[in-house]
Structure 1
């Protein structure tokens, strides 16, 4: 049996409604989870919301709400979006959950028992928006002379009593970890973190006394944990830490933490150091993906270009959005999107290519063969097409998806779709109906076999649409995983029981874009 697979997204900060970036990361994680399930692995998939910290407390105050009421409201928006996006998570965790407070206090006590926490006074720069501390040497100067973080966010000078974590103690183990092949990808992120750690690590302030919206530090001194100690701990909370048990034994260490490139430091420097201190095994891989840009520009409320993913779903459909985001952007790099780019890509590749292939093939089988499948022997051209489709679906596509090269894997799949359409044009089954009806049956049934493999392969990306194609083909629910791609007898079994193709319904309708939105 293949090893179990545990994947997490970053938990999302709900000081506002979710935007397209939240949808992008969570869709990508869902695609990976579905892909691994189809490969036969038992998968645990966790996402959720990170609800503590000064930023949430200030936002709630500005709105005249309590932090908990704001957290409840905004976390609900994220959960609703992820359900609409067909995200197959196993747990939606909230850092306000009782078991999470208990887990966070347990890892704190483990670090304290190791001698890695001490009380002192912090004086330095803090970004409320990033919930991050920065050294003077990391700051830049804004147009008005104000000091800014590396992310371009305002920083303010902070002085207060705080608990410190002995991050400096873990510099050499962290360098060794970052030099471990495969731990942090893509390579550009690894190089950034190697440079950061190589310059020397200061001990990290890990508690606050200036506000109380957070996990309480064990003890009577009135501290709450630095939000990132609490946030990162969610990954082990969801598996039963500190009690252990079956889920913990099965799924930890995590197979993959999928995160945005702006929080790589927290996940590959701070988090491993906390785990080393608490004597907990380290995650196997962290991947820092790029940002989605709106027509090449970062989204901003002041520019009025913030995209509501629910709006995109309402207009274009869930699977259209999922396909575009995975096919359009090389994963790990920044990418750009727009409504017209989505419409053009989905129409060209799903509606006109794969959708049209399935629709016209099934229609011809229904009309010209009364929908009845028969045993047949593929000729040389037919076998060549099936071999090409099998190579794309069983080798190229899974190889690239395993490496998180989604756009490359989809391109390999799409080339197989194009090969099928070329085969249709060359064989012209509509003409064979009159000149050689037996050959027509062979051609159409060859296409049925190819479409089945193509639909099985693309399921992680467009689960509902792929399922609709497989339903129309009559493929049973237990014959849709990737092991089924090696089953060469499935067609004979269907034909042997007299399976009949019904009149098909279009699965991939063309999308429309209002004229005033076209570029």
Structure 2
């Protein structure tokens, strides 16, 4: 049986429509999931929407909407966006579903059975926007002396009866866990969390609210609903059948990777492992906090008018092109910037002009001049072997190794260097000239190129699945020969057929009247 691999995105808070940051995270998770499937793993990718909490309730009320009706509309918008961006999720979980309420209840009861929940009175600072509690020493001063959270969001003094979780009990465990190599990446995120854990006493965490009722009810405690982060984090368990589907849960838990934004690292690297430890459940293997996407170097906000619908970008430039740009342009884990010009420039230079043009030139030449079929009998020359080895290393070693460590842009850099090598080779070998002077050598050159194009298309498939499928279809590569293990076999040694080659990556044009530019 294939080795399991479980990956999750953060569970999106749908008090507004999805933006490019949501798309970026979902695309990255999808690329990793597709890569692991191609690597022979039994993958489960879980995403969804976190629909409870005060902020959600307030947003719905302000719009004069029923909260569940509003949440359903927004959740459907996220699902639609992810579907349009070709996100191959295995489960889309909503925190308002009955199965999720059951999972949250069971987790709560497990923490209660460990003696880690107690009833007390909460007095402290709370950010509605972050759905987070902050201590006095974490606050910063805004304009006019206004107190703000570390995320620059307003906080308000809150007093209410609350259930508390004995977070302080797990301080040493959490320090040791976050010091474990590979648990929290990149290093900058790990340093932030360790600074938080070591720099102060860890206070117990308020985990219920009584000032509103939009949430999962606390079992046996009328009037209390669970703190939204207890509820939201439990989605990672719901998505693999907790608590009733013990077979699925036993197969996929603990998660191999939680992929999240850097602004919610503390919830995942501090609160979540403590909840799990209390409930006698294993902690996730790895958490990765990626950076933010900036529009022309600026953080996106409605007031600046630079919030872009990712589906508008996908409609303008293509889904695969958008996917490629986001993961090629930004060093994964760091902040990055995007603009329409940058998308057009990058995708034209690398996808259209370099790889797409290479594939189309070679396949069209074979279709037109070789009756759609090439069998190479001429000996393999040094230039052929050198190119095949360059491409093999990039596609079967460098890119997979980089993707395994989530250095996605580095893997794509190795890939594009192999593409450049193919273009240099075709210019040097000039098969159009060999057609007249040495037809057998021409066939060897074309077969070598087709083998390289196949490898490059397979390696890029997690990033641009639809476009690379067109290339592999034109090369008549069987569906069961498109995973990473296929790279061990060289099709250039047999007969290569080409059928109906069509350009996979057309050149992009920047719209003259482009509001996203």
Whole-angstrom distance in 2 between the partners of 1:435 and 1:240: 65
Report the Cα offset of residue 504 of structure 1: 1.6
Report the Cα offset of residue 219 of structure 1: 1.0
Please name the residue that 2:241 is paired with: 240
Whole-angstrom distance in 2 between the partners of 1:433 and 1:3: 48
Please name the residue that 1:357 is paired with: 358
Q: For residue 159 of structure 1, give the secondary structure of its aligned residue in structure 2.
A: strand
Q: What's the TM-score once normalised by structure 1's chain length?
A: 0.97
Please name the residue that 1:368 is paired with: 369
Report the Cα offset of residue 393 of structure 1: 0.3
Q: Does 1:116 align with 2:116?
A: yes
Q: For residue 89 of structure 2, give the secondary structure of its aligned residue in structure 1.
A: coil
Q: Does 1:333 align with 2:337?
A: no
Please name the residue that 1:227 is paired with: 228
Report the Cα offset of residue 144 of structure 1: 2.1
Whole-angstrom distance in 2 between the partners of 1:47 and 1:356: 36
Q: For residue 151 of structure 1, give the secondary structure of its aligned residue in structure 2.
A: coil
Please name the residue that 2:180 is paired with: 180
Q: Does 1:500 align with 2:502?
A: no
Whole-angstrom distance in 2 between the partners of 1:46 and 1:503: 37
Whole-angstrom distance in 1 between the partners of 2:101 and 2:327: 35
How many residue pairs were aligned? 514
Q: For residue 241 of structure 2, give the secondary structure of its aligned residue in structure 1.
A: coil
Please name the residue that 1:264 is paired with: 265
Please name the residue that 1:409 is paired with: 411
Report the Cα offset of residue 283 of structure 1: 0.4
Please name the residue that 2:309 is paired with: 308
Please name the residue that 1:106 is paired with: 106
Whole-angstrom distance in 1 between the partners of 2:246 and 2:374: 50
Q: For residue 144 of structure 1, give the secondary structure of its aligned residue in structure 2.
A: helix
Would the aligned equivalents of 2:471 and 2:501 in 1 still touch at CA under 8 Å?
A: no
1:178-217 correspondence to structure 2 within 5 Å: 178-198=178-198, 199-217=200-218
Report the Cα offset of residue 516 of structure 1: 5.2
Please name the residue that 1:283 is paired with: 284
Supply the RMSD in Å over aligned alpha carbons: 1.2
Whole-angstrom distance in 1 between the partners of 2:8 and 2:111: 23
Please name the residue that 1:79 is paired with: 79
Whole-angstrom distance in 1 between the partners of 2:209 and 2:247: 35
Please name the residue that 1:424 is paired with: 426
Report the Cα offset of residue 380 of structure 1: 1.4
Q: Does 1:514 align with 2:507?
A: no
Please name the residue that 2:450 is paired with: 448
Q: For residue 384 of structure 1, give the secondary structure of its aligned residue in structure 2.
A: helix
Deviations 1:189-231 (A, max 9, x none): 0000001011221000000000000000001431000000000
Whole-angstrom distance in 1 between the partners of 2:428 and 2:212: 71
Q: Does 1:167 align with 2:171?
A: no
Would the aligned equivalents of 2:131 and 2:228 in 1 still touch at CA under 8 Å?
A: yes
Report the Cα offset of residue 428 of structure 1: 1.1
1:36-185 correspondence to structure 2 within 5 Å: 36-185=36-185
Whole-angstrom distance in 2 between the partners of 1:439 and 1:373: 11
Report the Cα offset of residue 502 of structure 1: 2.6
Would the aligned equivalents of 2:376 and 2:444 in 1 still touch at CA under 8 Å?
A: no
Report the Cα offset of residue 514 of structure 1: 2.5
Would the aligned equivalents of 2:53 and 2:228 in 1 still touch at CA under 8 Å?
A: yes
Report the Cα offset of residue 250 of structure 1: 0.8
Would the aligned equivalents of 2:164 and 2:207 in 1 still touch at CA under 8 Å?
A: yes
Report the Cα offset of residue 243 of structure 1: 2.5
Whole-angstrom distance in 2 between the partners of 1:2 and 1:478: 16
Whole-angstrom distance in 1 between the partners of 2:44 and 2:385: 39
Comparing 374-383 and 102-111, the one that deviates more: 374-383
Q: For residue 30 of structure 1, give the secondary structure of its aligned residue in structure 2.
A: helix
Q: For residue 502 of structure 2, give the secondary structure of its aligned residue in structure 1.
A: coil
Report the Cα offset of residue 2 of structure 1: 5.4
Would the aligned equivalents of 2:331 and 2:409 in 1 still touch at CA under 8 Å?
A: yes
Q: Does 1:385 align with 2:387?
A: yes
* Gap runs ≥5 in structure 1: none
Q: For residue 407 of structure 1, give the secondary structure of its aligned residue in structure 2.
A: helix
Comparing 435-444 and 146-155, the one that deviates more: 435-444
Deviations 1:135-189 (A, max 9, x none): 0000011112210000000000000000000000000000010111100000000
